[in-house]
Amino acid sequence: MGSMFRSEEVALVQLFLPTAAAYTCVSRLGELGLVEFRDLNASVSAFQRRFVVDVRRCEELEKTFTFLQEEVRRAGLVLPPPEGRLPAPPPRDLLRIQEETERLAQELRDVRGNQQALRAQLHQLQLHAAVLGQGHGPQLAAAHTDGTSERMPLLQAPGGPHQDLRVNFVAGAVEPHKAPALERLLWRACRGFLIASFRELEQPLEHPVTGEPATWMTFLISYWGEQIGQKIRKITDCFHCHVFPFLEQEEARRGALRQLQQQSQELQEVLGETERFLSQVLGRVLQLLPPGQVQVHKMKAVYLALNQCSVSTTHKCLIAEAWCSVRDLPALQEALRDSSTEEGVSAVAHRIPCRDMPPTLIRTNRFTASFQGIVDAYGVGRYQEVNPAPYTIITFPFLFAVMFGDVGHGLLMFLFALAMVLAENRPAVKAAQNEIWQTFFRGRYLLLLMGLFSIYTGFIYNECFSRATSIFPSGWSVAAMANQSGWSDAFLAQHAMLTLDPNVTGVFLGPYPFGIDPVWSLAANHLSFLNSFKMKMSVILGVVHMAFGVVLGVFNHVHFGQKHRLLLETLPELTFLLGLFGYLVFLVIYKWLCVSAASAALAPSILIHFINMFLFSHSPTNRPLYPRQEVVQATLVVLALAMVPVLLLGTPLHLLRRHRPHLRRRAAGRQEEDKAGLLDLPDASVNGWSSDEEKAGGLDDEEEAELVPSEVLMHQAIHTIEFCLGCVSNTASYLRLWALSLAHAQLSEVLWAMVMSIGLGLSREVGVAAVVLVPIFAAFAVMTVAILLVMEGLSAFLHALRLHWVEFQNKFYSGTGYKLSPFTFAATDD
């Protein structure tokens, strides 16, 4: 948890891995998840790297595993999770795994092919038997006789054209949706020289591919003439009909039907044996697939990591560069030593200097992960930058609760989050695939604190489902006011609204012990009182929150060695912020403490004083809060305005003054180089720099050329304008705490008045009230959860998110870094 306040120190490490032990070392590092490899072969294409053949073999295995997984899913089976943590297999096992997998896949293909062939053959036999058993014969003969008497003359001359023709038959089956089109096309193409009979099967047959029940239409066509027969066969082929031989004799058809039934029975027995063998093959797949997928995935990840390494000139070791936390360097050394001892040569790791900005590493646990996620959603912090997450753990739920303050609503949210926290280790809860549930579950601790803080602010507002509670005795006494004011019955009858005067002795006994006095819920000016209270509270919280953000910037300046920014940026920013808006907070608190109930009628307006402060004027009707107030206000305004040029020009002038010697040295060096080049021009190419010296010289030039005066002035001008204008806009932005708090309270009040209050006033009889209140309470509960908890809660969450990202974090947090993404097998094991 020490790294929560600032990212851990990360170093660039160079690894020398012996070629024989490189795979083992990288595999061990993947199990530990300590380092993030840098690609040293960025200019080399993926097809030209050293271990591309091994990566392709792993990809081929993954394709085979995908085929096996699809077959398992097709069979309706579920893959079991792998048992325990499986290490990456050694390279010599890759061939064995590939042979076993290919053999099993080929066996599965053969068995599945045999099953499909047997199913198709069985389906053909069942269709043939159905066609023979449909009974087209008698009806078709009668239709044939009737058709002949209608379409042919009663007396035909001997030796006519039809005397040698005999009736032929075509029988088969077609899909039901094709039958009408087939019948129409047959009639039109054959000009009526046929008789067709179509019947739907009474019992559907199992489809040979999908296994689902499918209905079929059987048909029997009688025709005469060879040309008509050829047309009929072509048309049935076009419609993909199943055509079977049809015997004219009834006895022959019965014999063929018995033979088909016998063949179908024998084929079903063979198909059953095939399916039992298929189940055995799938059982072996279930044993091989889960561990094989994990191992091959790890092996592929290892080879991809090795492809990022460069090869030494002697080809005896691989050279890798990786980012690693300084805290984990001993564990890294130990892991490399243990992984390479069997090969006789130990792997070596040592730190190397680097000018690139290291990645950011912040370790989290299940409690802090959601709060760190809020910060990272704005932007990952720069290396070693102050991390806002520890402070967000308190400020985010609190600002949310200021807008969502209600004991009842906070309690419901707290109990919902508590149930998720208590059930977080259950496998069924973790395995839930609902995206909305996963969002709530990942933020369960955030919801827990949001509900807890909402209960706290609900007690301060004294609201529980918009109703006030009298935990302590009220500080106001109506009896004392009635006794000393002499209210008569006639006075009470004429005045529906009565006023409690705190200046009367005994009326105001003292402040309520905790929160707002419940008597305010009965007052007519309840909304005006809360309006003033919450508005001033929002301003105070906003100024304190922003000032805290500016103070956190001090730790960044000190850590990065930029102490000049303490005087040239932090001090002017605090002076500007506190001199104007901090003074506003002072006026609010001073008025609360110094203005009593007796002088409340003559109390000055803070808003008018604050406006006059910028106008350098005063209002005769608005008396000052304290002596010499105008002088103090004018001094603060002048001081705040004087900080603007300091903030604008201080840092650029300091950087230019510090950078001036570098510019002089660089100019002198260039003059000497020019003279040397003129005096010794032929030898310049011989005595030139080596490649390493050129790189070093180039880097020095980059360091000296980093400071561009125009860019520095532009950056500082943007920062100054953003901060000065942001102090005004950000302070006004915190008024959303006041607005949303009032909106939530009024919505709760309206929901109670429009639903529960009406239900409670319908009937005073116990039985009738119980029956009436059940649906009313159900409606009240549903609307409370849907409107006040979900919609209002989401609105308050987004506004609290905005206050942290824009108003708080921009005072000290840049968010321009990138995360350390270690090479790890954790996702594969999960």
pTM: 0.79
Residue with tokens 């040239």: 568
The reply to whether 324 and 205 lie within a common domain is no
Pick 757 or 284 by higher pLDDT. Answer: 284
The reply to whether 316 and 254 lie within a common domain is no
Q: Helices (H), strands (E): how many in the chain?
A: 29, 11
Which region among 360-374, 570-584, 647-661, 690-704 has the lowest average model confidence (pLDDT)?
Answer: 690-704
Give pLDDT, residue 687: 32
Q: How confident is the model at residue 159 (pLDDT cuts 50, 70, 90)?
A: very low
**Number of domains the chain is built from:** 3
Q: How confident is the model at residue 55 (pLDDT cuts 50, 70, 90)?
A: very high
The reply to whether 642 and 598 lie within a common domain is yes
Residue 144, in any domain of the structure: no
Which region among 116-125, 203-212, 701-710 has the lowest average model confidence (pLDDT)?
Answer: 701-710
The reply to whether 346 and 208 lie within a common domain is no
Question: Which whole number is the average pLDDT over 91-105?
Answer: 89
Give pLDDT, residue 150: 42
The reply to whether 548 and 519 lie within a common domain is yes
Which region among 95-99, 250-254, 695-699 has the lowest average model confidence (pLDDT)?
Answer: 695-699
Give pLDDT, residue 685: 34
Q: By residue range, what is the domain housing residue 345?
A: 10-108+276-351
HSE, side-chain direction, 13 A CA sphere, residue 152 = 16
Integer Cα distance of 42 and 21 in angstroms: 24
Share of the chain above pLDDT 90, in %: 43
Residue 503, in any domain of the structure: no
Residue 656 reports pLDDT greater than 90: no
182 CB-near residues (< 8 Å, 6+ apart): 174, 219, 235, 236, 239, 241
Q: 192-196, 204-208, 373-377, 669-673: which has the highest mean pLDDT?
A: 373-377
Question: Which whole number is the average pLDDT over 396-409?
Answer: 95
User: Directed axis angle between helix 709-733 and helix 629-679, to 10°?
Assistant: 150
The reply to whether 534 and 447 lie within a common domain is yes
Give pLDDT, residue 806: 93
Q: Hey, what long-range contacts does 638-645 have (CB within 8 A, 24 or more apart)? A: 639/575, 639/579, 640/575, 640/576, 640/579, 640/580, 643/572, 643/573, 643/575, 643/576, 643/579, 644/572, 644/576, 644/720, 644/724
Which three-class secondary structure state does DSSP give residue 242? strand
The reply to whether 545 and 424 lie within a common domain is yes
The reply to whether 269 and 280 lie within a common domain is no
Give pLDDT, residue 743: 93
Give pLDDT, residue 762: 73
The reply to whether 646 and 522 lie within a common domain is yes
Give pLDDT, residue 316: 80
Give pLDDT, residue 135: 61
Integer Cα distance of 154 and 156 in angstroms: 7
Question: Which whole number is the average pLDDT over 643-662?
Answer: 87
Give pLDDT, residue 145: 41
Question: Which whole number is the average pLDDT over 812-823?
Answer: 92
Question: Which whole number is the average pLDDT over 755-778?
Answer: 76
Residue 674 reports pLDDT greater than 90: no
Instruction: Tell me the two tokens of residue 602.
Output: 């003559």
Residue 487, in any domain of the structure: no
Give pLDDT, residue 663: 63
The reply to whether 401 and 466 lie within a common domain is yes
Give pLDDT, residue 774: 84
CATH number of the domain encompassing residue 258: 3.30.70.120
Q: What is the per-residue pLDDT across 771-780, written as a single tens digit (0 to 9) for each? A: 778 888 889 9
Question: Which whole number is the average pLDDT over 686-710?
Answer: 44
Q: 43-52, 753-762, 789-798: which has the highest mean pLDDT?
A: 789-798
Phi-psi region of 3 (alpha: psi -120 to 50; beta: other; left: phi over 0): alpha
Integer Cα distance of 219 and 136 in angstroms: 8
Integer Cα distance of 123 and 132 in angstroms: 14
Residue 731, in any domain of the structure: yes
Residue 319, in any domain of the structure: yes
Q: Are 321 and 352 in contact (CB under 8 A)?
A: yes
DSSP string, 684-695: GTTS---HHHHH
Question: Which whole number is the average pLDDT over 315-340?
Answer: 90
The reply to whether 202 and 84 lie within a common domain is no
Q: 136-145, 396-405, 503-512: which has the highest mean pLDDT?
A: 396-405
Q: Which of 256, 273, 290 is the last residue of a domain?
A: 273
Which region among 214-223, 462-471, 612-621, 668-677 has the lowest average model confidence (pLDDT)?
Answer: 668-677
Integer Cα distance of 644 and 665 in angstroms: 34
The reply to whether 216 and 322 lie within a common domain is no
Q: What is the per-residue pLDDT across 335-387, written as a single tens digit (0 to 9) for each? A: 998 888 776 678 888 999 988 899 999 999 999 999 999 999 999 999 999 99
Residue 82 reports pLDDT greater than 70: yes
Residue 543 reports pLDDT greater than 80: yes
Q: How confident is the model at residue 572 (pLDDT cuts 50, 70, 90)?
A: very high
Average pLDDT across the chain, whole number: 84
Q: Which of 206, 238, 273 is the last residue of a domain?
A: 273
Q: Which of 204, 238, 273 is the last residue of a domain?
A: 273
Integer Cα distance of 114 and 122 in angstroms: 12
Q: How confident is the model at residue 143 (pLDDT cuts 50, 70, 90)?
A: very low
Residue 146, in any domain of the structure: no
Residue 191 reports pLDDT greater than 90: no
Integer Cα distance of 799 and 450 in angstroms: 14
Residue 142 reports pLDDT greater than 60: no
Q: How confident is the model at residue 736 (pLDDT cuts 50, 70, 90)?
A: very high
SS (H, E, C) 569-589: HHHHHHHHHHHHHHHHHHHHH
Pick 681 or 29 by higher pLDDT. Answer: 29
Residue 692, in any domain of the structure: no
Give pLDDT, residue 699: 35
Q: What is the per-residue pLDDT across 403-429, written as a single tens digit (0 to 9) for each? A: 999 999 999 999 999 999 999 888 888
Residue 184 reports pLDDT greater than 50: yes
Integer Cα distance of 207 and 215 in angstroms: 9
Question: Which whole number is the average pLDDT over 149-157?
Answer: 43
Give pLDDT, residue 705: 45
Residue 627, in any domain of the structure: yes
Phi-psi region of 515 (alpha: psi -120 to 50; beta: other; left: phi over 0): left
Task: List, in sequence order, every residue forming a beta bridge with 350; answer none if it has no partner.
Answer: 14
Length of the chain: 830
Question: Which whole number is the average pLDDT over 105-124?
Answer: 89
SS (H, E, C) 329-395: HHHHHHHHHHHHHHHCCCCEEEECCCCCCCCECCCCCCCCHHHHHHHHHHCCCCCCCECCHHHHHHH
